[in-house]
Amino acid sequence: MSAAEAAAMRRALALAAGGPPHGPNPRVGCVLLGPHGDVLAEGRHEGAGTPHAEVAALAAARAAGRPTAGATAVVTLEPCRHTGRTGPCTRALVEAGVARVVAAVEDPGPRAGGGAEELRAAGVDVVVGHAREEAEALTRYWRHAVATGRPFVTLKWASTLDGRVAAPDGTSRWLTGAPARADVHRRRAGADAVVVGTGTALVDDPWLTTRDPGTDRPLPRQPLRTVVGRRPLPPGARLLDDAAETLLLPTHDVEAVLTALAEREVRHAWVEGGPTLAAAFLRAGAVDEVVAYLAPALLGGGPAVVADLGAVSVRDTVRLDLVSVETVGGDVALVARPRRGPARTSSTTSTTSTTSTTGTTAAAPASAPAGRTS
C-alpha cells in the first residue's frame, strides 16, 4: 500500500465509525483516490435502503465532475456482489472504471461475499487485509450475526462482591452507584434489543429504555424490549407502555429466543435478565460477552448472579477471558468473554406459540442473515 492509500484507509475507517451503529447492515466507509493519490470523493453507508459506501463515493465524484477511470477505491469492507435493496458494488466499481480496490476485511455473507474475486475476474487489482483489526471491530456484531445466524449476545449484571444481585427480601435498587447506571445506559444504547425474563419484569417492573444520563430523558432511538417467559405481564406494566416496542416471547428455549430476534434483524442482544435467564443463556453456550458491574459491598445472602449451571466439580467451571476492567464511580465494570467449548444442553423446554399484546409484537420464524440487505 502507498502512503496515500494508508491515509485514505484511516479516513475510510473514520467515515465508517460515524455511520449508524444500529440496523441490519454494517458500518462502511470508502475513499476514492485518483491515479496520482489525490482524493476524488468519499462516502459512507447511512443505513438500510441507502447506497453503499462505494456507490455513495462514486456519486459524489460524479457530482463534483471528477472522472473515476483508473481510480483506487479504499474501503473498509470488501465490496458486495449481490443485489438487495441496492445493486452490487462490484458492478458499480467496474462500470466506473475503478482500477484498484483496497479493502480492510472480507465480507462474510454467503451472498454478498466474494466480491474481491469478482473484481479480479473483471481485471481490477484487489488488495484485502490492511487495517483488518480496526475494520473488524467496527463490524463486530454484524459479522457475528452473519456468520452464526444469530445475534451477538452480551450478558450484563450488577452484583455485590460476594456475587449477590439482590437482598434476601428481593430488593436490588441500587447495588451500584449513579455512574455505573449511566454506563449501563450508554452500553445498552449500543444494542438492538434488550432482553429480560418475566421474573425480572414482574419483580422490578423496569422500563428497559435508554436514557440520557444528564437529563434522564429517553433517547430518540430505543432498543427492542424483549420479555422471555410464559407468565403474563399485568396491564399496567411499564414494559407495555409506548416508550419503546416490546416483543413478548412465551418460551424458555434460548434457541427460540435467538431465532425470533434474528428474524427481527437484531444483530446485538443485551441480556439483562436475572439469575435464571443468565444461566439459561450460559448453559446454551449463547453468551458471547459478559459485562459485570461489581459494587464494593457484601450481602451474605440473597440470589446469586447465575442460577445452577449444572456444575458438580471445579472441572465444570465456565471459564471466561478477561477483556477489560475499569473503575466507574465507586464501582468496577468488568468485561469478559467465555472460552468456547461444547455448548451445554439447556434443561428448559420450548413452546412455539406466540401471543400478541397491546403495544407488543409477536415472534415469527427466522432465517439466518444473509449479509448486507441494502
* Residues assigned a catalytic role: 54
Name the CA radius of gyration of the chain, rounded. Answer: 23
Contact 25, 46 (CB under 8 A): no
Q: Could you give the 3-state DSSP secondary structure of residue 153? A: strand
- CA–CA separation, 27 and 49 (whole Å): 13
Spell out the alpha helix ranges (H) of 28-149: 53-63, 89-95, 115-121, 132-138, 140-148
Give the count of beta carbons closer than 10 Å to the beta carbon of residue 37.
13
Q: What are phi and psi of 298, to 5 degrees?
A: -130, 140
- Is the sign of the CA dihedral 326, 329, 331, 335 positive or negative? negative
Which three three-digit cell numbers place residue 77? 469492507
- CA–CA separation, 237 and 231 (whole Å): 13
- Is the sign of the CA dihedral 66, 71, 76, 82 positive or negative? positive
C-alpha closest to that of 84 among 59, 52, 40, 107: 52
* Residue matched to cell numbers 480496490: 101
Give the count of beta carbons closer than 10 Å to the beta carbon of residue 69.
10
- CA–CA separation, 221 and 25 (whole Å): 17
CB half-sphere exposure, 66, CA atoms < 13 A: 19
Contact 121, 90 (CB under 8 A): no
Contact 338, 287 (CB under 8 A): yes
